[in-house]
């Protein structure tokens, strides 16, 4: 699907995300100049219910979505070539890069808690376009990429 998971227990150490040369290397190489940290749990995230609902609506973005799990866990679901859901279990130390134009959604698991770093190339634009959003160039590019994969 083009979604990359750096299941990175060996590469990234989430306990030292504030000073991790390996994280700095990824940020430098991929131009992830921007970052913040989001905590998703009932007591800490404003408009929690509304946001949880938005995250779980099937959508795409016009840019990469990059998430690095610092604490807790959750699931990213992505559509495969045959339009079936693939569930990606994300835990502490895992980083995922969703390509622009891929349909996806996010949900917490039974722990109801995740703390994640959000990375971005340049100024962040998180706008979700709920499905159907097939008219975007980013979508056409991604479909073309999928067709070129085995
Ligand atoms: C998103 O865009 O789906 C989120 O920021 C929530 C997930 S962060 C692990
Ligand atoms: Ni998204």
- Helix then strand then coil, in percent of the chain rounded to 5, is 25, 35, 40
pLDDT digits (tens, 9 = 90+) for 4-32: 876 655 689 999 999 999 999 999 999 99
Closest ligand 1 atom, residue 69 Cα? 9
> What atom in ligand 1 is closest to the CA of residue 105?
3
Per-residue pLDDT at 3: 85
**% residues pLDDT > 70 (the chain):** 96
Ligand 2 centroid from CA 7, angstroms: 19
- 28 CB-near residues (< 8 Å, 6+ apart): none
Q: Is 54 exposed, middle or buried (0-12, 13-18, 19+ CB in 10 A)?
A: middle
Ligand 1 in contact with 72 (CB < 6 A)?
A: no
Task: Find out whether the beta carbon of 67 lies less than 6 Å from any atom of ligand 1.
Answer: yes
Residue 108 CB–ligand 1 contact under 6 Å: no
C-alpha distances out from residue 75 to 28, 96, 113, Å? 27, 11, 11
The pTM for the full model equals 0.94
Task: Give the three-class secondary structure for 15.
Answer: helix
pLDDT at 49 over 60: yes
Per-residue model confidence as pLDDT tens digits over 94-130: 999 999 999 999 999 999 999 999 999 999 999 999 9
Pair of tokens at residue 133:
């959003």
Half-sphere exposure of 49 (CA within 13 A, CB side): 0
Task: Judge whether residue 72 has pLDDT over 80.
Answer: yes
**Where exactly are the structural domains of the chain?**
4-147
Q: Is 26 in the pocket of ligand 1 (CB under 6 A)?
A: no
Which residue has a Cα nearest atom 2 of ligand 1? 55
> Does 104 belong to an annotated binding site?
yes
Q: Domain 4-147's class?
A: mainly beta
Contact at 8 Å (CB) between 148 and 3?
no
* CB of 106 closer than 6 angstroms to any ligand 1 atom: yes
Query: Cis omega before residue 132 (within 30°)?
Result: yes
Question: How far, in Å, CA of 73 to CA of 71, rounded?
Answer: 7
> How far apart, in whole angstroms, are the C-alpha atoms of residue 78 and residue 105?
7
Rounded CA-CA distance 39/47 in Å is: 12
20 or 149, higher pLDDT: 20
Q: What is the pLDDT of residue 1?
A: 85
Question: Smallest Cα–Cα separation from 114: which of 61, 60, 57, 45?
Answer: 45
* Cα-to-chain-centroid distance, residue 102: 11
61 has binding-site annotation: yes
Average of pLDDT values for 67-77? 98
Closest Cα to atom 7 of ligand 1: 106
């Amino acid at each position: 699907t083009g979604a990359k998971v750096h299941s990175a227990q060996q590469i990234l150490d989430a306990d030292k995300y504030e000073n991790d040369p390996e994280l700095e290397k990824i940020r430098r190489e991929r131009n992830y100049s921007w970052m913040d940290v989001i905590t998703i749990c009932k007591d800490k995230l404003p408009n929690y219910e509304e946001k949880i609902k938005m995250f779980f609506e099937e959508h795409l973005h016009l840019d990469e979505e990059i998430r690095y799990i610092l604490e807790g866990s959750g699931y990213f679901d992505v559509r495969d070539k045959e339009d079936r859901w693939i569930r990606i279990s994300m835990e502490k130390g895992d980083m995922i890069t969703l390509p622009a134009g891929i349909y996806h959604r996010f949900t917490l698991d039974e722990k109801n808690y995740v703390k994640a770093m959000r990375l971005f190339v340049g100024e962040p634009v998180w706008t979700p376009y709920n499905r159907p959003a097939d008219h975007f160039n980013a979508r056409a590019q991604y479909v073309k990429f999928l067709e070129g994969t085995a």
